[in-house]
Amino acid sequence: MINETTHDLVVVGAGPAALSAAIYTCREDIDTLLFEKGAIGGLAAVTDWVDNYPGFENGISGLELSEQMRKQAERFGAKIELGEVQNIEDQGKLKKLATTEGDIYAKAVLIATGSEYKQIGVPGEKEYYARGVHYCATCDGAFYRDKKLVVVGGGNSAVQESIFLTKFASHIDMLVRSKLRASDVLVKELEKHKDKITVHLGVTTDEIAGDPPAGGGKVTKVVGTDTVSGKKIEFPTDGVFVFVGLLPNIKFLDGSGVELDERSFVKTDVHLMTNVPGIFCAGDVRSGATLQIASASGEGATAALMIREYLEMQERGPLPQAVVGHPQLY
């Protein structure tokens, strides 16, 4: 358990935005603590291959990229604690964070909790979770060597992960509710794998079925509907991978006063500060984020510079009335 103490900055999360921010703040001698409830690196850590992060000509595995960012942040003095932030309370100059490891206080807070996988909410999805229903190809794809799979989704992640799953699966049926929404580059890459991937456009996912889950049974088929003919279609399968988007990790913000947009992502101004002075946000959890590792890292660096300016203003004295509630730091 950590002691009740005050830090210059507490970062909630330890993904690319958080780690990038910590690299910058620690280099400025800003006492920085990162609090992470899951994996260091966030969703980037469970991404099989990152091919568009600058500086890596041949790409890099998400796990290795996350590990290098962690080591770099720690080299400059960042402290990373494993645990969950349950609540943030604005106490003026200080923010109180209730965590599973005790209460901690910060002069500034950076929300960088990223997102989690969205579920489709059909019968069988929860019942067969981890027994045939998955959300991470890197984590679970190897269990399906020479097996048949169904992938649900038609965006970038669905196409990218389907291509990755061809390393293991004998065949993949992609169920796309309307049309492919992936980038042209990925769609062209998908074409190269048509011997193993069959794309079914205009097919909904209605049910995931299998042997009785209570007895440890596993998935055996997915039931869908052809939206043109209205006919039911069954896809025999050994497993289902769902890639239909992300949900922001913001449950801990209940009662904090931090404003969210209509999709529950965190709203910020141009300085990446929320409507609560001293609470900033960067990365995939922020409203308007582009959901790319490179941009999350860039936002983390920008947030760090804004936080430094905010802390310097606090040291100089009370914030001018024009700043309170809507900071204009420059």
> Over its length of 330 residues, how does the chain's per-residue pLDDT go in tens digits?
445 589 999 999 999 999 999 999 999 999 999 999 988 999 888 777 888 899 999 999 989 999 999 999 999 999 999 999 999 999 999 999 999 989 999 999 999 999 988 999 999 999 998 889 999 888 789 999 999 999 999 999 899 999 999 999 999 999 999 999 999 999 999 999 999 999 999 999 999 999 988 777 899 999 999 999 999 999 999 999 999 988 999 999 999 999 999 999 999 999 999 999 999 999 999 999 988 899 999 999 999 999 999 999 988 876 555 454 444 443
Q: What are phi and psi of 263, to 5 degrees?
A: -105, 10
CA 172 to centroid of chain Cα atoms: 25
> Of 19, 12, 58, nearest to 298 (Cα)?
19
Alpha helices (H) in the chain, listed in sequence order: 16-27, 62-75, 137-140, 156-165, 184-191, 293-316
Give the pLDDT of residue 319: 53
Give the pLDDT of residue 197: 98
Q: What are phi and psi of 294, to 5 degrees?
A: -65, -45
Fill in the DSSP letter of residue 43: G
Beta strand spans in 120-278 (E): 133-134, 148-152, 171-176, 197-201, 203-210, 219-226, 232-236, 239-242, 246-248
Give the pLDDT of residue 1: 43
Give the pLDDT of residue 315: 86
Give the pLDDT of residue 4: 57
CB-count burial class (<10 Å; 0-12, 13-18, 19+) for 130: exposed
Give the pLDDT of residue 318: 61
Give the pLDDT of residue 281: 98
Sheet hosting strand 133-134, strand order edge to edge: 133-134, 239-242, 148-152, 171-176, 197-201
> Using CA atoms, how far apart are residues 278 and 107, in angstroms rounded to an integer?
7
> Using CA atoms, how far apart are residues 12 and 175, in angstroms rounded to an integer?
35
Read out DSSP for 132-148? TEES-HHHHGGGGTT-E
Can you list the domains of the chain with their CATH numbers? 6-117+246-316 (3.50.50.60), 133-242 (3.50.50.60)
